[in-house]
Structure 1
Amino acid sequence: MDKKTAVSSRRDFVKKSAGMVAGLAAGPTFAQVLTTQKPDPLYSLQLGVFAAYDKADFLRESGCSYIEESVAGFLIPADGDVQYAKNLELLRSENFPIKSYVILLPGSLKTLGPDANHEAILQRTELVLKRAKECGSQYVVFGSGGSRVIPEGYDRNKAKAQHIELTRKMAPLAEKYGVTVAIEPLNRGETNFINSLAEGVEIVEAVKSPKVKLLCDIYHMLKEDESPDEIVKYGKHIVHCHIAEKENRTPPGVKGDDFRPYLGALKKINYKGGLSIECFVYTDFEKEARKGIEVLKQQLSEV
């Protein structure tokens, strides 16, 4: 090849390359192009387990993407700031993410009723959100059924207004720290207020904050005989999910519950967030947690 031909070839190559880059810039990204070329036929989610952080290595090895902790267990431990500093150091050394924290409030702190204590709740919530940000976490779950029980004879509309007022005051704190407060509907065996996705959405829509959203807990939906269609109906509000078997709140695979209708609903809304096994009692944690992850992966692949 002579010098003139070589220069011409280089110019053609540069023009073609520039055109390709411009085309990619105007259209999908290169990563998106690769993804489009090699689609994954199976539906999958980020899976995690609610557990103490000392289970992090085990859960990582078992195929989890993250762990879910409790506010009192990790962010505001009984041993105080010194223990929190140790927890934070462990998190940074393990480098296994805590996506979310459950049980924002103890039952002694009331969000509604004659003993409502919003000032103390907001002080606690700000500390929780600040520390959740330090830990690189995304969500704090606002379930706390004991704190939101409407006392017998107390006006339900007044109670609801109190709870909304409090959540509206939480919203600027959540926005300040960039951590989402996820409203969790609970079954009526745990509380008598916010027992369905529809009731959770009432709070979310009343607050109108990008950092106050909805948690979908399939265990509570099963206890309340709530249809998977509700996930589709309110999907735009859902940012995080929990799951457990209906009868004894066991991990998937113990009793053999079929979660596919609910997982299929999550797929239908193109949900891409986390799905945490949230159980409080295990016969054999490692065996049952590992089995639970396997069962969820299998059922997800079948929807």
Structure 2
Amino acid sequence: MIDKTTSSSSRRDFIRSTAGAAAGLIAAPALSSASILPSNRAYNLALGVYAAYDKANFLKEAGCTYIEESVSGFLLPATDAQYSKNLEQLHQQHFPIKSYVILLPGTLKTLGPDANHEAILERTELVLKRAKECNSQYVVFGSGASRIIPEGFDRNKAKAQHIELTRRMAPLAEKYGVTIAVEPLNRGETNFINSLAEGVEIVEAVKSPGIKLLCDIYHMLKEDEPATEIVKYGKHIVHCHIAEKENRTPPGVKGDDFRAYLSALKQIRYKGGLSIECFVYNDFEKEAKKGIEVLKQQLADV
């Protein structure tokens, strides 16, 4: 029996639309590549799992310190009344939502001839306002289907459009005190911003404390991006995702060794959150719990 933890239909639509083409604590300032924590000091991170909020109690008992939700599943459900119920549940359970994924649906384009910046900004402001109400820290700006550069469209123009939009998002992020984390995605999901270096181009062009970088180790593995890139761009990283490379399974299913990437996070003295971000489980409770255990062990090993 397949247990789909994502309650949002938009998340499923996003995965289908991109398959072919496609919150933790604030990070401490990154240090140089020579600044390594003492080897005898245990390295711990706040661990979370992307899941619907009805999994919160289980994840708390499994050793997580937060949960990661989706924008459309929690902040922007079908009705305002449902959001009010979600907020009430959050207040009752006192288990924090640190971050939200999928800021934009694929129908809202950040670039290309159909770019719709005004609608995106209107949606983004409501998302940030509600994220603040939930005492959350981050909204992830991945949304790969929204940023696919159409065939034949000038890449430099597309990049300029995306940067301009992100610049207009920045004052909203600062206003509400919620950081927008730019997420590089693998080329199986989108053809724009596929590496930490490309994500940093956007962050550095915007130059705002409200716009930072997300490091997704799954996407790095898919792109054969070395762990040294984390050290290189560590000062921009505020949040992290992780999953196994082959089928985006939780740690412990295939047995992937993430120690090189975790060691790089330790080297930059990263102290933010690390979320297991998977979409489909054969047995959610068993695999999520095992994933947390595996991450704790691999963190201890570095």
Task: Tell whether the structures are fold-level matches, with TM greater than 0.5.
Answer: yes
The within-5 A match list for 1:29-44 is: 41-44=41-44
Letter in 1 for 2:174: E
* Equivalence for 2:272: 273
- Give the Cα–Cα distance (whole angstroms) in 1 for the partners of residues 232 and 154 of structure 2: 29
Distance 2:265 2:233 in 1: 11
SS at match of 2:256: coil
Tell me the distance in 1 between the aligned counterparts of 2:158 and 2:210. 22
* Inter-partner Cα distance in structure 2 for 1:58 and 1:207: 39
Q: Report whether the alignment pairs 1:157 with 2:156.
A: yes
For 2:165, the aligned partner's letter is L
TM alignment of 1:131-210, pairs within 5 A: 131-210=130-209
Q: How much has 1:263 moved relative to structure 2?
A: 0.1
CA–CA distance in 1 between the matches of 2:49 and 2:59? Answer: 8
- Aligned partner of residue 215 in structure 2, secondary structure: strand
Question: Per-residue displacement from partner, 1:106-140 (whole Å, max 9, x unpaired)?
Answer: 00000000000000000000000000000000000
The amino acid that maps onto 1:50 is: Y
Task: Give 4+ residue runs of structure 1 displaced > 4 Å after superposition.
Answer: none
In the aligned structure 2, how far is the partner of 1:126 from the partner of 1:107? Answer: 18
Residue segments in structure 2 that go unaligned for 5+ positions in a row? 1-38
1:101 paired to 2:100: yes
SS of 1:234's equivalent in the other structure is helix
Aligned to 2:301: 302
Letter in 1 for 2:65: S
Name the CA distance, whole Å, in 2 between partners of 1:281 and 1:117. Answer: 31
Structure 2 residue aligned with 1:124? 123
SS in 2 for 1:181: strand
In structure 1, distance between residues paired with 2:112 and 2:219:
24
Secondary structure, in 3 states, of the residue corresponding to 2:280?
coil
Letter of the aligned partner of 1:297 in structure 2? K
Aligned position for 1:45: 45
* Matched residue type, 1:88: L
Alignment root-mean-square deviation, CA: 0.9
Cα deviations by residue, 1:189-212 (Å, 9 ceiling, x for unpaired): 000000000000000000000010
The letter for the 1-side match of 2:180 is V
Secondary structure of 1:140's partner?
Answer: strand
Unmatched 5+ residue regions in structure 1? 1-38
Query: Counterparts of 1:188 and 1:57 in 2: how far apart (Å)?
Result: 35
Separation of aligned partners in 1, 2:148 and 2:103: 15
More helix by share: 1
Residue identity over aligned pairs, in percent, reads 84
Post-superposition shift, 1:42? 1.0
In the alignment, what sits opposite 2:72?
72
Aligned to 1:29: none
Matched AA of 2:205:
A
Residue 61 (structure 2) pairs with residue 61 (structure 1): yes
| Matches of 1:140 and 1:235, distance apart in 2 | 19
What TM-score comes out, normalization by structure 2 length?
A: 0.87
CA drift of 1:40 comes to: 7.7
What is the distance in 2 between the residues matched to 1:42 and 1:252?
20
Q: CA deviation at 1:167?
A: 0.2
Structure 2 distance, partners of 1:59, 1:281, is 16
Distance 1:280 1:77 in 2: 18
Highest RCO, 1 vs 2 (Cα 8 Å, sep ≥ 6)? 2
Offset, 1:41? 2.5
